[in-house]
């Protein structure tokens, strides 16, 4: 069995991202992990923080038992903390939290409480460090993502179309928008590495139309490029029909039904990737255990459509699909920000 060794270049990459997160000599930093975390990334985080003169400490939680009847992947809602007060307190007081849990704290129930105390969280996605080192901080990307997030926050309507048959309408009034460029340097904020994504969580009853996934589009929960079309009909946020004759549609129908939860069929968020360094073909380059697919989410010009929990619409569920689609056209109040899968030069 192959085993990875520590590489100096990976420590360098971790130092670069921590420097962007405003980590200074003498700073206290918590490294949060669980017993099934990628040990290589946990070790790299420690070595990088020590090289920078910071004072790291580890919080290691037992990976909890999966109480669901299906495997859970790519939810962004780690259950490792288990709402334990002493753990939450330790993370609040750390100031800087390096999140190496498998699913990450982005949508974890404890995260708002940790952020409210002023801690900043960097989620290191469960990727092999070879992928992480290719997507180190890019100040130009930060500028573009900020501009895209600002544009989305002022948008009233998103329209998504494609040659495959997609015709989706999203009422964006009141939607909550998040832009992630790969690091965070402000108290009370969270980011994930790799970055280069902007997503919006629309309010309840705002999404209608048809969404057609074409061969080559991606189901990241299954870590699979589609080989056959999947057509979804959405009414007031919910997938009310999922059509397709191939394996891709059959697997999606079975997985959604297995939850026995109507909210698993609802929309979580909509957005698009903006990272020119993220590679579409990357999913084929790594073993499934060596990738979480965050790079694919960030591929420039993809339409990132997700089903599952949306706290801003009052919906909660553990069922989750992240479905990057290539070749769509995305219009914000009539302005094309993505045209047939190509990100347009409208963000400076």
| 116 and 158 fall within a common domain | no
Asked if residue 186 belongs to a domain, the reply is no
| 97 and 163 fall within a common domain | no
Q: Which strand ranges, in their side-by-side order, compose the sheet holding 176-180?
A: 176-180, 197-201, 267-273, 303-307, 321-325
- Is 157 exposed, middle or buried (CB count within 10 Å of its CB: 0-12, 13-18, 19+)? middle
| 154 and 249 fall within a common domain | yes
Last-in-domain residue among 124, 147, 171: 124
Asked if residue 145 belongs to a domain, the reply is yes
Asked if residue 282 belongs to a domain, the reply is yes
The two tokens of residue 109 are 């129930």
What CATH number does the domain containing 49 carry?
3.40.50.2300
User: Which residue is it, tokens 């090289």?
Assistant: 51
pLDDT in the model for residue 2: 59
| 16 and 85 fall within a common domain | yes
Asked if residue 291 belongs to a domain, the reply is yes
pLDDT in the model for residue 107: 84
Which stretches of the chain are DSSP H helices? 8-20, 39-51, 85-94, 111-116, 129-134, 139-153, 247-258, 294-297
pLDDT in the model for residue 137: 83
Asked if residue 188 belongs to a domain, the reply is no
| 30 and 165 fall within a common domain | no
10-residue averages of pLDDT along the chain (348 residues) = 82 97 97 97 98 98 88 82 96 97 91 96 96 91 96 98 98 96 96 96 96 97 96 98 96 95 95 96 91 94 95 85 97 98 92
The two tokens of residue 18 are 């921590």
| 201 and 54 fall within a common domain | no
How many structural domains comprise the chain? 2
| 105 and 222 fall within a common domain | no
| 207 and 280 fall within a common domain | yes
| 94 and 169 fall within a common domain | no
pLDDT in the model for residue 97: 98
Asked if residue 348 belongs to a domain, the reply is no
Contacts (Cβ under 8 Å, ≥6 apart) of 322:
74, 220, 221, 293, 297, 304, 306
Asked if residue 2 belongs to a domain, the reply is no
| 118 and 164 fall within a common domain | no
pTM for this entry:
0.92
Q: Tell how far CA 347 is from the center of its chain.
A: 21
Rounded CA separation 194/133 (Å): 9
| 197 and 247 fall within a common domain | yes
Tell me which residue range forms the domain holding 219. 138-181+193-343
| 249 and 298 fall within a common domain | yes
Contact 16, 137 (CB under 8 A): yes
Asked if residue 288 belongs to a domain, the reply is yes
């Amino acid at each position: 069995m192959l085993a990875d060794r520590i590489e100096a270049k990976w420590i360098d990459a971790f130092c670069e991202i921590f420097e962007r997160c405003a980590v200074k000599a003498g700073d206290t930093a918590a490294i949060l992990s669980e017993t099934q975390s990628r040990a290589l990334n946990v070790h790299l985080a420690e070595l990088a923080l020590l090289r920078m003169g910071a004072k790291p400490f580890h919080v290691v939680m037992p990976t909890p038992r999966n109480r669901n009847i299906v495997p859970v992947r790519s939810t962004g809602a780690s259950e490792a903390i288990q709402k334990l007060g002493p753990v939450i307190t330790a993370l609040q007081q750390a100031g800087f939290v390096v999140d190496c849990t498998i699913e990450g704290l982005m949508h974890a129930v404890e995260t708002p409480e940790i952020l409210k105390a002023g801690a900043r969280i960097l989620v290191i996605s469960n990727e092999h460090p070879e992928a992480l080192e290719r997507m180190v901080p890019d100040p130009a990307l930060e500028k573009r993502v900020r501009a895209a997030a600002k544009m989305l926050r002022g948008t009233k309507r998103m329209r998504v179309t494609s040659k495959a048959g997609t015709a989706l309408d999203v009422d964006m009034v009141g939607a909550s928008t998040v832009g992630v460029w790969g690091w965070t340097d402000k108290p009370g904020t969270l980011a994930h590495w790799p970055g280069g994504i902007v997503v919006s969580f629309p309010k309840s009853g705002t999404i209608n139309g048809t969404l057609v996934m074409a061969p080559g589009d991606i189901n990241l929960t299954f870590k699979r490029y589609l080989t056959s079309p999947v057509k979804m009909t959405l009414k007031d946020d919910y997938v009310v029909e999922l059509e397709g004759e191939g394996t891709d549609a059959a697997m999606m129908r079975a997985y959604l039904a297995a939850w026995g939860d109507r909210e698993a069929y609802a929309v979580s968020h909509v957005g698009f990737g903006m990272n020119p360094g993220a590679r579409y073909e990357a999913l084929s380059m790594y073993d499934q255990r060596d990738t979480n697919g965050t790079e694919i989410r960030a591929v420039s010009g993809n339409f990132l459509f997700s089903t599952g929990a949306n706290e801003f619409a009052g919906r909660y569920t553990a069922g989750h699909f992240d479905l990057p689609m290539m070749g769509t056209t995305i219009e914000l109040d009539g302005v094309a920000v993505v045209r047939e899968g190509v990100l347009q030069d409208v963000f400076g």
